[in-house]
Amino acid sequence: MWSAASGAAQSDLKGPAVVVPVPEKPGAVEAAAAPTGGEAGVPDPGEVVDPPRAEPVVPRGAEAPSDPPPVSQLFPASGGEEAPPDMSQNVTIHLLKIFVQKGYLTQTEAMGLIRQAENEAGAARRAAQEKKAAEAAEEDEAMKVSYVPESVRQQMREEVRSQVMADLRAGSPDGKNSAVALALPGMDSTFGLFGDIRLRYELQQFPEGNDNTGAFPNFNSINTGAPFDTAGLVFSPQRNVDEERMRFRYRVRVGGEWQLADGFSTGIKIATGENNSPVTTNQSVGLANQGQGGNFSKYALWLDRAFFKYHGDFGRAASVDLLGGRFDSPFMATPLIFDEDLGFDGLAIKLKGKWGSRVKPFFTAGAFPIFNTDLNFSSNQPAKFESTDKYLFAVQGGADLTLSDTIKLKLGVAYYNFDGVQGELSEPFLPLSASDAGPTDNTRPSFAQSGNTYKPLRQIIPDVTNNFGTSNQYQYFGLASEFAPVVASGKLEYSGFEPVQVALTGEYIKNTAFNRAEIESVAVNNRGPVPPKDAEAAAGTPGGIGVFDGDDTAWMVGIKFGQLALMKRGDWTLGAEYRHLGSDAVVDGFIDSDFGSGGANLKGFAFTGAYALSKNASLGVLWNSNEEIAGPPLKADFLMFDFKIKF
């Protein structure tokens, strides 16, 4: 019956509830339920009998349909009782079509019900979308607040340079390290890849007047090879002081740093280099050296850094960094004492504090092995020699001062004790050949540049085997002075001309262990010319030349202006400085390799300039003109052009 069918239909509705009006006139029901046949009052087959009209159901706030489309368009006739095969999947509309076809609803009533259902469904969808968007925004905001990489939290406390390096090493939002993370399994935003490639053209020029008579021994060449026979008839290895040279050089450095849990991090770096020099990673193009390079052969790579680091905070007022392995210099210093490429092997601790908003004190200390004696030294003798290890012990204190919004000052005072680097004279012994070792041979520097004062290390016994001191005088040379320099450093930055910045740098060094009288009696270089009236007195000095003319102080002043950190295309910087570096103020093996030919006993000017072609590419130029302070005359000019790519 109708009522039963109606109840069944309503129980299957999946959309909004639809109320179908029940006809009040029994005749209409009987007519609808009666079999076809042409009796009076009974409609012919196919004729639609309208039930009692009902007002269309219109959703609240919506306008009633004024001109509904024809039923043939909205509800196409099926031609029978069966639903068409292409009927809508919406069960509600399906039923409404049947009701209209059966005549239980008018077209207007069906349209009203459909619009009401669509409006309610649309409102529900909009509400769901708004809720989903709000939840997504809430989640995104939570991510922004809660997910701050450990590396960023640590490096935010560092200076501007440390912050920039943190962006490169720890991964940044622009995804510059995403390729590394995809290519290397297990690596994520806590890993940072960094490096650079530099191409350099270098020109060395020597003016007329330099002493080229054998007055400039290459002590590093002597000490890293077989001992030199000072009684021979040949010159010792000599430095170039009179012939122009030019060369092309590469420098490639690639490293990675991992930010680990609980404040720990670790990193490594490899670099080029034509030898194991501690102060340069340059590789001269075509130079055949130590079995590599030249004739298009391959060049070597060296382990340049390998370290761990721990960072801890003591509230907001202080922090500590512990460093171990081989790492960058932890000290505030200029190239006057430490080359920028120099790596420190050992342990260091850095403490930083905060007094108010304008004073940030710091303290740094470290212990660094410089040289460790071979376990089998001397290898060609059954009885071994005493160990002659060398260390650097260092402390530094200072502060970062914010004098105003545009003026910042950084000051530091350091004490460096180079323990065991002074050469020691051996007990008397008799070397029978160049391969025989002396007990103090290991006190000679294993690497040196030039400028320091040297003395003989072997006390050779005159004997018939060496013609009583006139042959077979196989000799090594060590540093004549001890080194314990006190270093005062300062840097003043002014940003009132933004975007142009100005930086003034100064440093003063005094070697507190220098003893002129002791050095005078043993020095074989850094002696002045002999005046004619002193020729007889000079005959008794080492080498038969003038008195020792070296000194124990060094100082420099410099200025830079422009965009001090080249961060984008068009940035530039210019610089100028003057240096005076006494012969024995610092250990020449660890200082700037680009000023002069590298080393101490120099004074002169240096000028620099750089221009950024992009945030990753730049051009640079360096020119310096210098002369030696003590010893025979020697002047030189150096010009370098650089093209650099960093990543």
Residues composing the chain: 647
Measured distance CA(253)–CA(304) in Å, rounded: 9
What DSSP assignment string belongs to 431-488? --STTPPPTTGGGS-SS--S-S-EEE---BPP-GGGTTTTS--EE-EEESS-B-EEEE
594 or 186: which carries more pLDDT confidence?
A: 594
Asked if residue 219 lies in contact with residue 423, where contact means CB atoms within 8 angstroms, the answer is: no
Mean pLDDT for 100-117 is 71
Given this model, what pLDDT does residue 104 score? 65
Residue 339 lies in a domain: no
Amino acid at 232: G
Given this model, what pLDDT does residue 9 score? 37
Query: 110 and 34, same structural domain?
Result: yes
Given this model, what pLDDT does residue 284 score? 94
Residue 417 lies in a domain: no
Given this model, what pLDDT does residue 321 score? 98
Given this model, what pLDDT does residue 44 score? 45
CB count, 10 Å around CB of 344?
Answer: 24
List CB contacts of 489: < 8 A, sequence separation 6 or more.
332, 333, 334, 398, 411, 412, 413, 414, 506, 507
Residue 465 lies in a domain: yes
Mean pLDDT for 161-190 is 47
Mean pLDDT for 437-465 is 95
Q: Tell me which residue has tokens 């070792």.
A: 437
Q: How far is CA 444 from CA 2, 421, 431, 448, 587, in A?
A: 116, 8, 17, 10, 12
Residue 141, φ and ψ in degrees, nearest 5: -65, -40
Given this model, what pLDDT does residue 90 score? 56
pLDDT category at 47 given cuts 50, 70, 90 is: very low
Number of domains in the chain: 3
pLDDT category at 75 given cuts 50, 70, 90 is: very low
Query: 474 and 540, same structural domain?
Result: no
**Res 51 pLDDT > 70:** no
What percentage of the chain carries pLDDT values higher than 90?
A: 61
List CB contacts of 562: < 8 A, sequence separation 6 or more.
500, 501, 571, 572, 573, 574
Lookup: tokens for 199: 């191409």
Query: 547 and 447, same structural domain?
Result: no
Lookup: tokens for 425: 């004279």
Measured distance CA(201)–CA(363) in Å, rounded: 40
Lookup: tokens for 18: 């639809």
pLDDT category at 638 given cuts 50, 70, 90 is: very high
pLDDT category at 138 given cuts 50, 70, 90 is: low
H or E element that contains 542: none
Mean pLDDT for 563-569 is 92
**Res 205 pLDDT > 60:** yes
Coil/strand/helix, residue 606 = strand
Given this model, what pLDDT does residue 395 score? 98
For the CA atoms of 48, 51, 55, 60, the dihedral, rounded to the nearest 10 degrees, stands at -80
Measured distance CA(520)–CA(563) in Å, rounded: 47
**Res 278 pLDDT > 50:** yes
Amino acid at 74: L
Residue 120, φ and ψ in degrees, nearest 5: -65, -40
Burial of 285 (0-12, 13-18, 19+ CB in 10 A): middle
Measured distance CA(380)–CA(431) in Å, rounded: 12
Residue 221 lies in a domain: yes
Given this model, what pLDDT does residue 396 score? 98
Measured distance CA(409)–CA(497) in Å, rounded: 17
Coil/strand/helix, residue 177 = coil
From 86, 103, 119, the end of a domain falls on 119
Measured distance CA(171)–CA(152) in Å, rounded: 9
Query: 110 and 30, same structural domain?
Result: yes
Q: Tell me which residue has tokens 């390729």.
A: 179
Residue 623 lies in a domain: no
pLDDT category at 16 given cuts 50, 70, 90 is: very low
pLDDT category at 21 given cuts 50, 70, 90 is: very low
Mean pLDDT for 308-314 is 95
Mean pLDDT for 297-310 is 95
Mean pLDDT for 307-314 is 96
Q: How far is CA 371 from CA 32, 52, 368, 533, in A?
A: 112, 110, 9, 44
Asked if residue 62 lies in contact with residue 116, where contact means CB atoms within 8 angstroms, the answer is: yes
Is the Cα dihedral 222, 223, 226, 228 positive or negative?
Answer: positive
Measured distance CA(352)–CA(319) in Å, rounded: 5
**Res 361 pLDDT > 70:** yes
Given this model, what pLDDT does residue 388 score? 92
**Res 6 pLDDT > 70:** no
419-441 burial, b at 16+ Cβ within 10 Å, e below that, comes to ebbbbbebeeeebeeeebbbbbb
Query: 541 and 459, same structural domain?
Result: no
CB count, 10 Å around CB of 564?
Answer: 19
Measured distance CA(177)–CA(269) in Å, rounded: 17
**Res 417 pLDDT > 80:** yes
pLDDT category at 11 given cuts 50, 70, 90 is: very low
Q: Tell me which residue has tokens 């005076």.
A: 580
**Res 140 pLDDT > 60:** no
Measured distance CA(577)–CA(624) in Å, rounded: 9
pLDDT category at 125 given cuts 50, 70, 90 is: confident
Coil/strand/helix, residue 76 = coil
Asked if residue 316 lies in contact with residue 354, where contact means CB atoms within 8 angstroms, the answer is: yes
**Res 428 pLDDT > 50:** yes
Q: For strand 407-419 and strand 485-497, is the pairing parallel, antiparallel, or unpaired?
A: antiparallel
**Res 318 pLDDT > 50:** yes
**Res 501 pLDDT > 80:** yes
**Res 168 pLDDT > 70:** no
46 or 499: which carries more pLDDT confidence?
A: 499
What percentage of the chain carries pLDDT values higher than 70?
A: 73
Asked if residue 333 lies in contact with residue 507, where contact means CB atoms within 8 angstroms, the answer is: yes
Residue 7 lies in a domain: yes
Residue 138 lies in a domain: no
Is the Cα dihedral 51, 55, 59, 62 positive or negative?
Answer: positive
6 or 232: which carries more pLDDT confidence?
A: 232
Lowest-pLDDT range of 107-111, 227-231, 637-641 = 107-111
**Res 56 pLDDT > 60:** no
Residue 401, φ and ψ in degrees, nearest 5: -120, 125
Given this model, what pLDDT does residue 115 score? 75
Residue 635 lies in a domain: no
CB count, 10 Å around CB of 262?
Answer: 8
Mean pLDDT for 548-573 is 95
Q: Tell me which residue has tokens 């003590």.
A: 630
Lowest-pLDDT range of 83-87, 318-322, 336-340, 405-409 = 83-87
Given this model, what pLDDT does residue 597 score? 87
Mean pLDDT for 498-517 is 96
Mean pLDDT for 206-232 is 93
103 or 67: which carries more pLDDT confidence?
A: 103
Q: For strand 500-511 and strand 454-456, is the pairing parallel, antiparallel, or unpaired?
A: unpaired
Given this model, what pLDDT does residue 399 score? 98
Mean pLDDT for 166-187 is 45
From 529, 551, 573, the end of a domain falls on 551
pLDDT category at 158 given cuts 50, 70, 90 is: low
**Res 5 pLDDT > 50:** no
pLDDT category at 586 given cuts 50, 70, 90 is: very high
Coil/strand/helix, residue 423 = coil
Amino acid at 613: L
Measured distance CA(148)–CA(145) in Å, rounded: 7
Query: 461 and 530, same structural domain?
Result: no
> Which residue range is the domain that position 523 belongs to?
516-551
- Average pLDDT for the chain: 81
Lowest-pLDDT range of 25-29, 229-233, 391-395, 485-489 = 25-29
Given this model, what pLDDT does residue 71 score? 43
CB count, 10 Å around CB of 365?
Answer: 18
Query: 476 and 520, same structural domain?
Result: no
Query: 105 and 24, same structural domain?
Result: yes
Which of 611, 585, 285, 616 has the alpha carbon at shortest distance from 452?
A: 585
Lookup: tokens for 86: 């292409």
Q: Mutual orientation of helices 2-11 and 26-33 as an angle, nearest 10°?
A: 80
Q: Tell me which residue has tokens 């202006």.
A: 561
Asked if residue 626 lies in contact with residue 635, where contact means CB atoms within 8 angstroms, the answer is: yes
From 84, 119, 154, the end of a domain falls on 119
Lookup: tokens for 30: 């009987």
Query: 70 and 22, same structural domain?
Result: yes
